[in-house]
A and B are shown apart, each in its own frame.
Chain A
Amino acid sequence: MSLLEIKNLHVQVGGNEILKGVNLRLDAGEVHSIMGPNGSGKSTLAQVLARRESYDVTEGEVLFDGKDLLAMKPEDAACEGLFLAFQYPVEIPGVSNAYFLRSAMNAVRKYRGQDEMDAMDFLPKLREKMKLLDMDEKFLNRSVNEAFSGGEKKRNEILQMAVLEPRLAILDETDSGLDIDALKIVANGVNAMRSPDRAFLVVTHYQRLLNYIVPDRVHVLVDGRIVRSGGPELALQLEESGYATVGTAAGAA
């Protein structure tokens, strides 16, 4: 059984159909990349999978580890092991990063029937993850994402991923706007988490990220449909020739 199985997914936003029948299978241990031009529906797909409720699913089915993902609330999907690294992480003034991270982790632990962790046990674990992402201690006491630089916000997303240890991580343009050093740090964070029982869906506009996070499969999303799928070499080909050339050639996942 695949970890994620998307079957004929149709999604509307405000009456406009954005996804027009997406099919995708992703197995544990794999890294897949979804590439596509602006407006192709990449972010919509990521948000729908994370259960953003402002999108209307009009047709299709999504199974996450065999369970009906589309019936889950966002918090339930997260507790089941799905994680979305946001393209635009949200600032939450007045909530410290440390408190937020511990609340999130304890929510997930509670759902799984594990004991909640107190600050004393949690902090050492958190510091270890922060070291991996080259994050300063002072991040902990700052409000979530407030006045963070673009790179800091993206690193904070990866830190949350490292703390929550999801089974499926969706990275929505985590590379956009990052300088090369920040990109390497983020990619290292992701690569350190690759494992046989975890999968990644890397949504990106640019091929550059895939030099650092090498995918098993690349899918090209154009106008709400996956028009081509292939190995890592497909990303390079797109970089050379652009999305126009993939045209409407039919391709299945």
Chain B
Amino acid sequence: MASAIQSLESYAEGFARLEKEAVGRELPWLRDLRERGFARFSETGFPTLRDEDWRFTNLAPITQTPFRLVRNGHAAPSWNESGFTFAHASAAFIPGAACRLVFVDGRFVPNLSSLDALPPGVTVASVAAELAKNSASIQAHLGRYLDIQRDPFCALSTAFIEDGAFVHVQKNAMAEAPIHLLFISASHDFPAVTHPRNLIVVEESAHATIVEEYVSSGGKALCNTATELVAGDNAVVSHYMIEREDAEAFNVSTLRIQQGRSANVASHSVLIGGALVRNNVHPVLSGEGGECLINGLFVGGDRQHLDNYMLVEHASPHCGSRQFYNGILSGHAHGVFHGRIIVHKDAQKTDAKQTNRNLLLSDTAQIDTKPQLEIYADDVKCTHGATIGQIEEDALFYLRSRGIDEASARRLLLMAFANECVDRMKEGPARAHVETLIREYVAGVTGSVSREAPEAAVGEAK
């Protein structure tokens, strides 16, 4: 425990420093928000396995590491010194994107970014710059949706708000081409923590496609990121979370979606990297007739731990939510899918569906899947199901009997399973980007099944 307390002290030091130097420290509302965040985090500390929401995820690797806050202030970013180059970043650029905001260690880096091709009605900036220029636009939403009481990582995020992406799409504006937000954790000679904090506001009847992508250039790093996404009435938003951090990196993310009347939001998560990853998606359907798609793919090997925590809140009548998560796990990887649906008292005619399908490619890979339905309305439709299986030997033999070699046959079956998620994404540059990443990644998955492996065991979780 001593080391856990020590690591909490390092957050206190970081916070004390931040309070003196941070962007926007002169804004009372922001100071207050940060203080409330830190107070809450100090009160609770990190979650433990005894917390129901964290029972499958041992946070020791995070809590026992004395992470230091990386703050570049206004000085030259450290990524130059860490050997990180433009080539590293450009490998992740999306062809056909409307614009690109690149953040290194949580700070906006203008010379890696490109803001030239913005469609009319779209404002994109760093949170730090917007706070300096037009803090009212940030104040209107920041911290209003994220629940710092429930999740200590959200409290921590709020305490350390300083920079991140700010996206604003005006009423009726069309931003179909992806707005690409690329977050790079540079390598340091100490364990480094960053807290990018994003705010995305899509106004009434506007359309937007947002891609958040997290990569790292090596070393022990924790990226604790949170995004508040406000989808106004009748807005249509596609959000992509692509997590492909380095093998030693930790990534904790929360996407908090606030949906207005008849808003249609799709959240696509693709987790293919990181040592320990927690992906929280929390939509609140707060207006009538809202639709939400929560789609995800997590692929882990070695000793990766990939935890997906979905919390879908139906707060208004006639809303629909569909959750589909597919997991592929090999080696000693551990996956978690926690699908919680809350249907509030007035949310009649709710139609909520949840499906989690998993492929285990080794005897030592593990998946914990847990549906949790809390229904307080009486006229609703809620279904859930989970399956766990192996690559089917019958399918493998069928493909091989047609001349396709074993390795290619396995890849074909893995791609088919992964493509169930890709197929739910709208055609376009963002989907093409994801498809390429998945294809490259799956080509490297060497998960082999012993010939004696039992036939696919399929179970329905109740």
Residues of A with Cβ closer than 8 Å to B? 50-54, 73-75, 77-79, 83-84, 86, 89-95, 100, 103-105, 107-108, 111, 143, 160, 164
Contact = CB atoms under 8 A, between A and B. Distances in A.
Contact of B399 (A77, A92, A94): A92
B420 A75 contact: no
Contact of A94 (B393, B394, B405, B420): B420
Contacts of A104: 399, 402-404
* Chain A CB within 10 A, most for which of B399, B408, B423: B399
B417 A74 contact: no
SS of B interface (majority):
helix
Interface in B348-402: 392-395, 397-402
Given A103-B404, A103-B408, 6 more contacts: A52-B397, A74-B401, A75-B406, A100-B399, A107-B405, A164-B403
Contact of B401 (A84, A105, A111): A84
B419 interface: yes
B400 A73 contact: yes
Contacts of B406: 73, 75
Given A75-B406, A78-B402, A103 B412 contact: yes
Contacts of B419: 94
Nearest to B418: A94
Nearest to A145: B398
A153 B232 CA distance: 48
B413 interface: yes
B416 A95 contact: yes
A107 B403 CA distance: 6
B74 interface: no
Contacts of A52: 397
Contacts of A90: 392, 394-395, 397-398
Nearest to B400: A74
Contact of A53 (B409, B416, B420, B451): B451
Contacts of A89: 398
B403 A111 contact: yes
Contact of A95 (B394, B397, B403, B412): B412
Interface string B412-435: 110111011001000000000000
The 4 A-B pairs of least Cβ separation, nearest first, read A94-B416, A104-B402, A78-B403, A107-B403
Given A89-B398, A90-B394, A92-B395, A108 B403 contact: yes
Given A53-B451, A74-B397, A107-B408, A79 B416 contact: no
A51 B401 CA distance: 8
A86 B451 contact: no
A83 B393 CA distance: 18
A238 to B, nearest CB: 29
A50 B403 contact: no
A223 to B, nearest CB: 26
Contacts of B408: 103, 107
13 contacts: A51-B401, A52-B397, A74-B397, A74-B401, A75-B405, A86-B398, A90-B398, A92-B399, A94-B416, A94-B417, A103-B402, A104-B399, A164-B403
Nearest to B405: A75
A159 to B, nearest CB: 12
A34 to B, nearest CB: 18
A92 B403 contact: no
Nearest to A110: B403
Nearest to A51: B401
Contacts of A78: 400-403
Contacts of B415: 94
Nearest to A144: B398
Given A89-B398, A94-B416, A95-B412, A54 B451 contact: yes
Nearest to A74: B400
Most chain B CB atoms below 10 A, which of A51, A73, A90? A90
A83 B416 CA distance: 24
A37 B248 CA distance: 61
A83 B420 CA distance: 30
B402 A107 contact: yes
Nearest to A103: B404
B390 to A, nearest CB: 15
A107 B395 contact: no
A185 to B, nearest CB: 21
B317 to A, nearest CB: 34
Contacts of A53: 397, 451
Contacts of A95: 412-413, 416
Nearest to B416: A94
B416 A92 contact: yes
B404 A107 contact: yes
A79 B403 contact: yes
A103 B400 CA distance: 11
